Amino acid sequence: MAISIAIPSLSGGGAEKVTLLLIQELIRAGNVSKVYVGRQCEESLALDCEVVHLRGYRSSESILNFIKAVRRDPADTYLLTLGYVNFAAALRLLHPRANIVLRIGNTIGPEIAALSPFAKFRYMTSLRLSIEAATQIVTQCTYMADDLKLHFRGYEDKIGVIYNPIEPHLASWATDGTSPVEGPYIFVAASFKPQKDFGTLLAGFACSRNSRKRRLVVAGVSPTDTAFRDLMALYSLNESQVLCLGSCKNVYDYVLNAELCVLSSIYEGFSNFLLEGAALGKRIIATDSPGGNMELFTHYQNATTFPVGDYKRLAELLELPRCDLPRQEALSSLVPFSFDTFKDKFESVLRI
């Protein structure tokens, strides 16, 4: 069974990390035909298979190069994810008998709510064509699946759920006992996007008594980001209180040594950061926003939620003491998110 995968980049957030894990597993099993990426990166160069660089991150920039390259691809199955799900209709024309699997990375309802009528029409039309062309669609949680079914009636049988997995090495991850940050700290890993609601996070941190003298450490936001610095200034926070790490490929040591792991999102598909925190037994504080995070918390009890936008309640919760669960106790509650479960389910949809 030959499988080809298309993704804009293998360097980035949770979706890229999960796809890279899957690709590496498929390479070990000898199932990969080709990997198509729009942006050349360290991760794509290190793959032990044929990698085709499409020279374009956006699907509109790389679709012609993809069509040219994929015409002679002998794969039986194609997995398309992130912006490259838009390739499905063209791929179906080129390979009418192929098994085409889409991995949807966004929660459609909240995403389109902020779009103009024309942008919404264009987005939904493109996605509908892709869903029609696909054999199966994978979402990251039940909430995302239900949301997709609500917006695309008639395709319910194609849509399923495969939770993001716990990376296998987290079961034995350990540090040398040295914290990457001096003193106690609260850790956040999130990009600086409106859905992450950093305004609530910074307001809550600024309003907390901070009796434990913790710093706020943020991975995913550049220390030179002027918009973020302006937001810090709005809440009278300075660099001695808030440390921005920028892009950080390995956050595990930061998670492991944190007092609390926090996320203030308005909505989420599924947070890999919170899953990593849970796998490492950390105390989690997060919004009760709809999405995969609440599904994670039905299995993981060392988490406390607060209403979206309620910075005063967040300020109170930031006073909670550190409380780590033993690693094996944490992992035993997270079986639906195990790598073996993830692998078995993908093998089924990829028809291996």
Give the range of the structural domain holding residue 65, as residue numbers without chain letter: 3-166+337-349
Look up tokens 């590496």; give the residue: 24
Amino acid at 311: Y
Q: Whole-angstrom Cα distance, residue 335 to residue 30? A: 26
Residues 9 and 157 in one domain: yes
Q: Whole-angstrom Cα distance, residue 79 to residue 350? A: 8
Residues 152 and 188 in one domain: no
pTM: 0.91
Residues 79 and 155 in one domain: yes
Residues 344 and 204 in one domain: no
Please provide the size of the chain in residues: 352
Residues 10 and 130 in one domain: yes
The CATH number of residue 286's host domain is 3.40.50.2000
- The model's pLDDT over 261-294, given as tens digits with 9 standing for 90+, comes to 999 999 988 999 999 999 999 999 999 998 899 9
Which burial class, exposed, middle or buried, applies to 44 when counting CB atoms under 10 A from its CB (0-12, 13-18, 19+)?
A: buried
Q: How would DSSP label each residue in 5-47?
A: EEES-SSSSHHHHHHHHHHHHHHHTT-EEEEEESS--HHHHT-
Residues 35 and 97 in one domain: yes
Question: What local confidence, expressed as pLDDT, does residue 226 receive?
Answer: 96
Residues with Cβ within 8 Å of 337's Cβ and at least 6 positions away in sequence, in order, are: 163, 164, 165, 166, 275, 279, 296, 299
Q: Whole-angstrom Cα distance, residue 145 to residue 291? A: 10
Residues 151 and 292 in one domain: no
Q: Whole-angstrom Cα distance, residue 298 to residue 335? A: 12
Residues 302 and 344 in one domain: no
Residues 90 and 219 in one domain: no
Is residue 42 pLDDT above 90, yes or no? no
Total number of domains in the chain: 2
- The model's pLDDT over 135-164, given as tens digits with 9 standing for 90+, comes to 999 999 999 999 999 999 999 999 999 999
Are the CB atoms for 107 and 195 separated by under 8 Å? no
Residues 175 and 92 in one domain: no
